[in-house]
């Protein structure tokens, strides 16, 4: 069972670049984009109507990152406002693939894009199925 759509439904999250996120060149350090992807995923969960922490605390389930990639297009700098756009592109009851765009707020310039793949695991890190009540958030068949 899986879900894949032609047109992704993005959730947008606005972040202002902090000085600590930049390198000596005044450009956002590359690894921070992966942190912003996480910010986007948590915001995506909130926007869909559930808290990621409830998945962990109430159901002993986590979405462990199995793969991550990022393509850098243009630099972000200190005090830039950016928009992290997050969507689920493909989901099964065991694996979710999130898509991201990081854009400059105002101009919409694409700064980076990427994907992460997540395997649903329990606290022993064994792959398990997503709890039934969460399937609707990823548009999986009941």
Burial group, residue 20, by CB count within 10 angstroms (0-12, 13-18, 19+):
exposed
How many residues does the structure list for the chain? Answer: 142
Q: What is the pTM of this model?
A: 0.90
- What Rg value do the Cα atoms of the chain yield, rounded? 16
Please state, rounded to an integer, the average pLDDT across all residues of the chain. Answer: 93
23, 54, 60, 122: which is the annotated catalytic residue?
Answer: 23
pLDDT(5) > 50: no
DSSP bridge pairs for 77: 27
DSSP bridge pairs for 84: 13, 102
Listed residue (109, 105, 37) closest to 74, CA to CA: 109
Q: What is the CATH number of the domain that holds 44?
A: 3.10.129.10
Residues 6+ apart with CB under 8 A from 124: none
pLDDT digits (tens, 9 = 90+) for 63-120: 999 999 999 999 999 999 999 999 999 999 999 999 999 999 999 999 999 999 999 9
CA distance 99 to 77: 22
3-state secondary structure of 92: strand
Asked about 23 being catalytic, the answer comes back as yes
Please give the pLDDT value at position 127: 97
pLDDT digits (tens, 9 = 90+) for 24-75: 999 999 999 999 999 999 999 999 999 999 999 999 999 999 999 999 999 9
Number of folded domains that form the chain = 1
Please give the pLDDT value at position 87: 96
User: Which domain range does residue 90 map to?
Assistant: 2-138
């Amino acid at each position: 069972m899986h879900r894949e759509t032609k047109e992704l439904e993005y959730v947008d999250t606005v972040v202002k670049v902090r000085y600590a996120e930049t390198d000596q060149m005044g450009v956002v350090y590359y690894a921070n984009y992966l942190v912003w992807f996480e910010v986007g995923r948590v915001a995506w969960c909130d926007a869909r109507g559930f808290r990621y922490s409830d998945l962990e605390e109430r159901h002993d389930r986590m979405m462990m990152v199995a793969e991550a990639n990022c393509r850098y297009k243009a630099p972000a700098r200190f005090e830039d406002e950016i928009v992290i756009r997050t969507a689920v592109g493909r989901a099964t009851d065991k694996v979710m693939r999130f898509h991201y765009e990081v854009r400059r707020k105002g101009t919409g310039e694409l700064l980076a894009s990427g994907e992460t793949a997540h395997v649903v695991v329990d606290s022993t890190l064994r792959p398990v199925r997503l709890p039934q009540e969460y399937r609707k958030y990823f548009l999986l068949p009941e």
